[in-house]
Structure 1
């Protein structure tokens, strides 16, 4: 008998789940098809040291495509308070599955049904919530009220659709809505956009701090976020910071540039909600930097990788073509190539961050495990950024 084929280390797409305030509350794990059993592959990822500490306080929604094979012993190392087991609606009609899942629920594990189960099947499985693709149609009202929730609406392409689903009874949301901001949530009027571009230009050429301060004083919201950041628990200072000059001394020039680049995404939207692009920009920036370091690039190249990642969503933030944004900034040629057409070494790395590809990773000499560890570090940082800004 030949030896069984060993599945490669799984690639996983982590998708953020937000509440109605655009705050991250959970992460869904969607592993690559070549990883074999999705639940076993996810367990491989969750064996990473300190993984739940890195993703705290996010809840983790794990795929369980074959709940009839699930055993409680497989869950022994998972913190029940942070885990939701995602089971397909079609499996809920099986009586054996109902008994198994009800037993797991009694042991403290939570069940979220992917789709709408027939009749009372979800209730018989002791499911607490539903996860439904509500991009185009909404499930029957009775399907939502039968479980306490929180119910997750996926496929959200706009904040308007989120509002509609919230009225229908959903309180968690996932989708690409952050990439399609409404008119009131973009960079504002022409004057505001020009000020932001001017600030970005100063940051790109490492301008004198006094020049930065002049522009910051014209943008009270950005100044507020900067001072809020340096006075947050993340820096644990013994005395409060009241001025921009003090903030520079605390952060240092390099960190100041990085935080200001991210703080551009923290500007409040017209509706007062957090900008959903902020943590996504943080993920890209951090992951680019970690992968660049893993490639053996020097500190300057790592900084360029960070910039390419954080700036890659500016066209969404400012509602402007990337060509116009790049033309207004003094960026390194490698960063420009990456932002405009994903070419050059930075462009290749940015493409991998935007869309995982096993063959491309192998060609770049990046192991799947290293890619996962970069993801984990990036999401950890993005979670902390969102909580401190």
Structure 2
């Protein structure tokens, strides 16, 4: 593809795509024009060793803003069964583009049209699905039924809107809906919330394992998830674990703390769906830790970075002000500053994880390639966490 040369390692915003059960099914690669040609920039990132293994089993949705420049040779390193080529609807009117994309579809690559193409243009491109911002307006019904799907609705800011889009024919969803839950554990369950805060406090002060065991026994949901975790394929044990004491011994103190912090997000919602906050918290925690390690921080500082990342969504989870949550916990001052004000070294890292740019990376002393490696590692871990909890 003839395109501007990329002089800097590209920065990508990865957006998780979920199904109707809040399970991640794909990652959408979004790159700004400042990164050069978005498709070429994505190719640079996908040359990372074992990148598709790290992101398995998720599909990768890649932007192709100039499909008339795309050649089959550009796709030679991409596995067809894992790649979806996202092309703008306006480009589908070009007969030459239609023939080119139809040929790539014959080679096994899936075509996703961004927006609604005129007439039968999407069909002529052999597109299987549409990607539409359905935050406010639904596309015509005929646009959805003309392709087999799955169709992706973006701009999803609430679970209610997802339900409406699902009825209209969408089955994949992306947006910040996880940050605006319609259900929370505090509704009608003050005891559960207090128990969670007590558990978080114990973890923060490195409480004795027996104290943790007593509290875990009072929470059937957390108990179930902990035993499910240690008996999962992630630990490959020769014999099943049946007691909390055994589970604590198998995991070890450090891993126990980490998994319990994430297990807080693993509760099922009232409608039985998985909590969409879980993988987000896992990404933040793992990426914070990876960046801290890249900066040469010691083991304790890396642990604090992990805690700041995983706790950064507790206000959403518990439907409480972060000030109240922090007041109930025994956290290091650096973690408190990061959670309340995004201040201090941990706060600076947390801001980068929430929204990165080159200026912020340069100020933090992190190069773009290091950031991508941390990002990739974090998503790999979040994918595994979601599958095991």
TM tier relative to shorter chain: over 0.9
Contact kept, 8 Å, 2:178 with 2:276, in 1: the verdict is yes
Deviations 1:265-297 (A, max 9, x none): 001110000000000000000000000000100
SS of the residue aligned with 2:379?
Answer: helix
Q: Distance in 2 between matches of 1:88 and 1:8?
A: 25
Q: Is the 8 A contact 1:153 1:165 kept in 2?
A: yes
Alpha-carbon separation, structure 1, partners of 2:192 and 2:205: 20
Can you give the 5+ residue segments of structure 2 that lack an aligned partner in the other structure?
none
Q: Which residue of 2 aligns with 1:216?
A: 216
- Match of 1:18? 18
The residue aligned with 2:95 is 95
| Partners of 1:166 and 1:360 in 2: CA distance | 38
Contact 2:129–2:147, Cα closer than 8 Å, also in 1 = yes
1:107 aligned partner: 107
Partner Cα separation in structure 2 for residue 42 and residue 219 of structure 1: 44
Superposition deviation, residue 32 in structure 1: 2.9
Partner of residue 261, structure 2: 261
Greater Cα shift, 343-352 or 29-38: 29-38
Q: SS state of the match for residue 85, structure 2?
A: strand
The count of residues paired between Structure 1 and Structure 2 equals 385
Aligned-residue offset at 1:7: 2.6
CA distance in 1, matches of 2:363, 2:160: 41
Alpha-carbon distance between aligned partners in 2 of 1:217 and 1:369, rounded to the nearest angstrom: 44
Aligned to 1:171: 171
Indicate whether 1:50 and 2:45 are aligned: no
Structure-1 residue corresponding to 2:247: 247
| Pair 1:256–1:13, CA change in 2 (3 A) | same
Q: Give distance in 2, aligned partners of 1:387 and 1:176.
A: 21
Q: TM-score, normalised by structure 2?
A: 0.98
Deviation at 1:33, TM superposition (A): 2.5
Contact residue 185 and residue 275 of structure 1 kept, 8 A:
no
Q: Identify the residue that residue 354 of structure 1 maps to in structure 2.
A: 354
The Cα of 1:121 is off from its aligned counterpart by 0.3
Are residues 6 and 125 of structure 1, via their aligned partners in 2, closer, same or farther at CA, if it must alter by over 3 Å? closer
Are the equivalent residues in 2 in contact too, given 1:8–1:34 (CA < 8 A)?
no
Q: Secondary structure of the equivalent of 1:15? A: strand
The superposition leaves residues 220-270 of structure 1 with CA deviations (integer Å, 9 ceiling, x where unpaired) of 000000000000000000000000000011000000000000000001110
Task: Please list, as runs of the form range in 1=range in 2, the aligned pairs for 1:268-279 lying within 5 A after superposition.
Answer: 268-279=268-279
Give runs of aligned pairs for residues 260-339 of structure 1, distance below 5 A: 260-339=260-339
Which segments of 5 or more consecutive residues in structure 1 lack a partner in the other structure? none
Alpha-carbon offset, residue 364 of structure 1 = 1.0
Residues 7 and 34 in structure 1, CA contact (< 8 A), matched pair in contact too: no
